């Protein structure tokens, strides 16, 4: 157990390795961006968090009460290579000061175990790092019931850092997200369907330091739109909340209708992708964005053969990035599992898109040009004209306006059953009957419940509850669902 008298926790942040090998100007800019991003993110957690910037690290000191939140935010912030949790002690001027303080803090860890002390030192002291290690190790061995000191293969390693007269005892080490600080590598527009591929591609662009906006092509259903908004909000909130980005919806129902009217069946899939890039280019131009990103992977489906990707790219002058192009589906799913988007992809509502009969896998440049000439582009222009822009951080408000789901805050009538739909194992305690059904099980589990009752969906911020209440009402015609916000 940590000393109960300790009221704050310190985190030492090591920058992504590629930042440290940049030229001095680029390095300063990236370090400043990490600092600014963390200031923005952590200020939303607590006003009592203090952040200090150094040429080779950042230091975060926070109240003990918010340690878990701060740790998770640091783990999910691009540009961070390693996170060290430390307990800080000032005015450690002598070896006696250091050995006593380290023993007070870490003695419980070495009882009955072999151990070693490792020290890194900065500043001018009368003693070197090996002396600190020997003195502290010898003192702890004498004062505790430990097996002994083992310089190799020790069961416990005591890591300490001495920065002039400031002692940091490292309690935990975590590998960070890596990548470049968000905002240092420009801005990109991600074509989002909400499935495994587009969400992983968006994550990778954010990890590489690109401010990532989202564009969604609605092929005919509100349920799919709110599902994609849900996962876009999740990605932004987890990995990119230091910057404000937009979610753009383009109504594509009429475009699909025109495809069926004017495009030959084998080329429908390729033509749809071309039209999405053309529309994305128009939106990107309006936002001064130079590049697009998609979740396409070579040969995953018929429209993603090398030839068909070349036909698709021919439709735009924008740079199109495809970070998944050499990945297999299992590779992509592994990343989705790691970043937490698998449940969203699996729960994504189904929708009817363009299904080509006998789709072409090796399209012809002259043939696609002929197909393109037959398409009425005024339909596409009208769709782009009707684009809807919403800030991702306002998606909860946007969903409320779309769905107009009734919100209940007072449970005193006792006539409701609350359903906690959060993914975690936690379940809210209320004065009425309360059930736990994670959002990704709602579609299958809700229909098993007695339908003569009124149900209130609950989540922490009210976003998931709005989204899934809206989806079940629209897709399954349930009328006995509302949202609970205490």
Q: Which active-site residues does the annotation give?
A: 459
Q: Is 357 exposed, middle or buried (0-12, 13-18, 19+ CB in 10 A)?
A: exposed
Residue 405 and residue 486: Cα distance in Å, rounded? 15
Q: Which two tokens stand for residue 413?
A: 């009538």
Q: Which burial class, exposed, middle or buried, applies to 223 when counting CB atoms under 10 A from its CB (0-12, 13-18, 19+)?
A: buried
Burial class (CB in 10 A: 0-12, 13-18, 19+), 175: exposed
In 44-157, where does DSSP find H-type helix? 67-75, 95-106, 129-143
Question: CA angle 118-55-95, nearest 5°?
Answer: 30
Check the annotation: does 9 bind a ligand.
no
As given in the structure block, the two tokens for residue 421 are 């739909």
Is 185 annotated in some ligand binding site?
no
- Name the nearest CA neighbour of 186 among 212, 210, 204, 215: 210
Structural tokens at position 173: 């080490």
Phi, psi for residue 462 in degrees, rounded to 5: 85, 0
Answer whether 196's CB lies under 8 Å from 333's CB.
Answer: yes
Contact in structure between 205 and 237 (CB atoms under 8 Å): no
Closest CA to 462 of 230, 227, 225: 230
Q: Which two tokens stand for residue 428?
A: 């809210």
The annotation status of 295 as a binding-site residue, yes or no, is yes
Rounded-to-integer distance, Cα 275 and Cα 32, Å = 39
Q: Residue 418 contacts by C-beta under 8 Å, 6 or more apart in sequence?
A: 411, 428, 430, 432, 433, 434, 435, 455, 456, 458, 484
Kindly list the distances between the CA atom of residue 331 and the CA atoms of 102, 121, 196, in Å, as whole numbers in the listed order. 44, 41, 11
Calpha distance 186→202 (Å, rounded): 14
Element (H, E) at 217: strand 211-218
Residue partners of 129: CB distance under 8 A and separation at least 6: 119, 120, 121
Q: What is the DSSP letter of 461?
A: S
Which segments are annotated as binding site for ATP?
191-192, 273, 295, 304
Which segments are annotated as binding site?
191-192, 273, 295, 304
């Amino acid at each position: 157990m940590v000393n109960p008298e300790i009221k704050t926790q310190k985190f030492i942040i090591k920058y992504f390795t590629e930042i440290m090998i940049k030229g001095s100007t680029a390095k300063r800019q990236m370090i400043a961006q990490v600092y600014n991003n963390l200031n923005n993110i952590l200020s939303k957690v607590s006003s009592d968090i203090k952040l200090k910037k150094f040429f080779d690290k950042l230091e975060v000191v926070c109240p003990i009460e918010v340690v878990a939140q701060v740790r998770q935010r640091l783990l999910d912030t691009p540009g961070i290579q390693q996170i060290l949790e430390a307990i800080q002690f000032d005015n450690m001027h002598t070896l006696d000061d250091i050995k006593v303080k380290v023993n007070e803090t870490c003695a419980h860890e070495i009882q009955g175990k072999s151990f070693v002390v490792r020290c890194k030192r900065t500043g001018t002291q009368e003693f070197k790092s090996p002396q600190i290690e020997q003195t502290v190790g010898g003192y702890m061995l004498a004062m505790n019931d430990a097996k002994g000191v083992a310089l190799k293969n020790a069961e416990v390693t005591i890591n300490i850092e001495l920065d002039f007269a400031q002692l940091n005892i490292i309690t935990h080490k975590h590998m960070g997200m890596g990548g470049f600080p968000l905002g240092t590598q420009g801005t990109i527009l991600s074509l989002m369907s909400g499935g495994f591929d587009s969400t992983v591609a968006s994550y990778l662009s954010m990890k590489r330091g690109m401010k990532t906006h989202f564009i969604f092509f609605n092929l005919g259903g509100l349920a799919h739109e709110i599902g994609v908004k849900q996962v876009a909000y999740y990605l932004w909130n987890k990995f990119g909340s230091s910057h404000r980005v937009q979610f753009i919806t383009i109504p594509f129902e009429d475009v699909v209708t025109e495809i069926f009217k004017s495009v030959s069946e084998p080329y429908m899939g390729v033509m749809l992708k071309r039209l999405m890039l053309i529309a994305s280019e128009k939106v990107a131009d309006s936002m001064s964005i130079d590049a697009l990103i998609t979740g396409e992977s070579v040969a995953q489906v018929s429209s993603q053969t090398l030839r068909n990707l070349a036909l698709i790219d021919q439709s735009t002058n924008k740079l199109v990035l495809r970070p998944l192009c050499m990945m297999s589906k299992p590779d992509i799913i592994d990343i989705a599992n790691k970043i937490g988007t698998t449940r969203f992809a699996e729960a994504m509502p189904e929708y009817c898109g363009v299904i080509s009969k006998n789709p072409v896998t090796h399209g012809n440049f002259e043939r696609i040009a002929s197909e393109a000439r037959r398409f009425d582009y005024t339909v596409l222009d009208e769709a782009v004209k009707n684009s809807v822009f919403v800030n991702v951080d306002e998606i909860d408000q946007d969903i409320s306006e779309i769905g107009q789901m009734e919100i209940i805050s007072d449970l005193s009538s006792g006539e409701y059953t609350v359903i906690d739909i959060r993914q975690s194992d936690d379940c809210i305690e209320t004065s009425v009957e309360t059930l736990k059904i994670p959002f990704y099980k709602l579609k299958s589990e809700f229909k098993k419940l007695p339908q003569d009752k009124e149900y209130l969906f609950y989540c922490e911020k009210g976003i998931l509850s709005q989204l899934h209440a809206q989806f079940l009402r629209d897709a399954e015609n349930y009328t006995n669902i509302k949202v609970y916000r205490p």
